Amino acid sequence: MSESLESEECQPQPKIEALLDYLEGLEEKYIIHGHGTTSRKSAQDILEHGLFTGWSNLHSISHPLQEARERRARQLEAWEYEARRYVVLIAAPRNDEYSATGSTDDERGAWENEKRSNAYAEKYVFEKVDAPTKSMAARHLRSDKRVPPSKIVGYWDDEQGQFVGNPYFETE
């Protein structure tokens, strides 16, 4: 991590500015989540084929991006979750059924929040997948759902300091 990113007062680096502007334009309709991966090839595969998972909850495979611009830049440029260099960006539709914390009502218990978050992900983010085919990588064998390419904005390549947009992403 560069020294300039350690300071609370740092400004986003110029290479990330266009991505931050783009994400701000999506914020009215979406909550953006990040999923870190270790290779450019894996990030490219996710853009093309989707993010396969056996989890029921969006929070189990991704983390919501920070709302504040400077914090979001630091988060992308120094992904803390297992030090992944490629961050796939997922667009979760913003509505009354979901917030970045998994619930719109803080009075609910943890179990109710999780059930609500699971139901939201099943309805708006995930899609069911058939049994894996032989052409699928072994890591997908236990996957029964995926975030489809249409919900994936693209990925931040921290190694190159650039955003790679997803041609399959569909805004609503």
Report residue 103's pLDDT band, with 50, 70 and 90 as the boundaries.
very low
Please list the alpha-helical segments (H only) found in the chain: 3-6, 14-26, 40-49, 69-77, 110-120
Q: Which among 39, 67, 57, 64 is positioned nearest to 137, based on CA atoms? A: 39
Tell me the pTM. Answer: 0.80
Tokens of 84: 């992944």
Residue 9 has pLDDT above 70, yes or no: no
How do the domains of the chain map onto residue ranges? Answer: 3-165
For residue 8, what pLDDT is reported?
A: 40
Q: What pLDDT band is residue 101 in, cutting at 50, 70 and 90?
A: low
Q: Say if residues 33 and 63 touch (Cβ distance below 8 Å).
A: yes
Sheet holding 127-128, edge to edge: 51-53, 145-147, 127-128
The per-residue pLDDT for range 137-157, each reduced to its tens digit, is 545 556 788 999 999 999 999
pLDDT greater than 50 at residue 1 = no
Lowest mean pLDDT among 84-93, 97-106, 117-126: 97-106
Taking the C-alpha atoms of residue 172 and residue 166, their distance in angstroms, rounded to an integer, is: 15
Q: Report the distance separating Cα 146 and Cα 148, nearest Å.
A: 6
